[in-house]
A and B are shown apart, each in its own frame.
Chain A
Amino acid sequence: MSTVHLAAYILVMAGTTYLIRLLPLALFRREITSPFIRSFLFYIPYACLAAMTFPAILSSADTHAGSVAGFLTAVVLAVRKKSLLTVALAACAAVFIVERLITLL
């Protein structure tokens, strides 16, 4: 990919994101009252993060076994409300351990 192409991609991302943040602050000075729109916006982060996580997480490491081990570790710790950093590092550690074990076998 050329540098110019990459820079254009980044500008498109940044521009779109900035416009979304800017328009209400700059133009509107009252709140959204529609319960449907409020609920829709409320659910978006959950739907989007879930869709980004699964099944992509299953191919996030070099080996399938490592990914699955990391996924299960993350689910168990996240359900127990561990902090973001703890969950992330424990998932990494699980992948690391399982992948080291595989190479030993």
Chain B
Amino acid sequence: MNDVILTDRKTDFRQGARDGVPIALGYFAVSFTFGMAASRDGIGAFWSALTSLLCLSSAGQFAGLEVIVAGGSFLELALTQLVINLRYLLMSFSLSAKLSSGISTAPRLLMAHGVTDEIFAISVCRRHLTPWYTWGAMAVAVPGWTGGALVGGILGEILPGFLLSAFGIAIYGMFLAIILPPAGEDRAILAVVLAAMALRAILSWTPVLKNISSGFAIIIVTVLVAGIAALLHPHAEEPS
């Protein structure tokens, strides 16, 4: 009986690790730009790698970097993380509902760190989800995410300025590649994207309003736009 369980765990872990490889490659690229952006802002490679290892969130880390560089308060930093990463709450709820209730708290604690858009997506598709599968994916994806920040941070310190100038746009390119394709197919998403950009532009270009710090501006725009969209146009689909 124990042998069967052990084999299952091994198979699950291996399958997770295999599915984690393409995720790790994508993570490396995104995290690389994070390490580079951070080094441009005077934060060393070690610190951006540590941030990546502990936070494991792309939009959250980039927004956090802005707050840190602007010298924002701890409260502002925590609030930006709360709002931007709130989607993980829903993902964590779905994963919890998928896990057998017999799985105790300790494995859940270890699994929780791996709740990212991508690892959630492959985990939630499993017919029978065990923590071992998610851990397998984390074992590959987390080093990819951390290593990307480390390499990006080191290169950011040695590459010439004109190359860094070109790399600064990479993360925004990726954000656009995430939000524009679904916006092309769903008018509600398109409206959300355009409204958020317009409102954020108003907040950064209008006198007085432009004094609102970047972290709070992102919170205000996100909560307002997503809240109004949810009221006007409830979405039936699973969040991705």
Contact = CB atoms under 8 A, between A and B. Distances in A.
A32 B199 CA distance: 29
B237 A42 contact: yes
B237 to A, nearest CB: 7
Contacts of A42: 230, 235, 237, 239
Interface residues of A, number: 79
Interface of B: 26, 29-30, 33, 42-43, 47, 50-51, 54-57, 59-64, 68, 71, 74, 77-78, 81-97, 99, 101, 105, 108-109, 111-113, 115, 117, 161-163, 165-184, 188-189, 192-197, 199-201, 204-205, 214, 217-218, 221-222, 225-227, 229-231, 233-237, 239
Contacts of A21: 85, 88-89, 91-92, 112-113, 115
A46 B47 contact: no
Contacts of B168: 60-61, 95
Given A41-B239, A79-B180, A25 B192 contact: no
A29 B96 contact: yes
A43 B225 contact: yes
Interface of A: 1, 6, 8-18, 20-26, 28-32, 35-57, 60-63, 66-67, 70-71, 73-75, 77-79, 81-93, 95-96, 99-100
Contact of B169 (A25, A54, A67, A77): A67
Contact of A48 (B64, B176, B222): B222
Contact of A20 (B29, B86, B199): B86
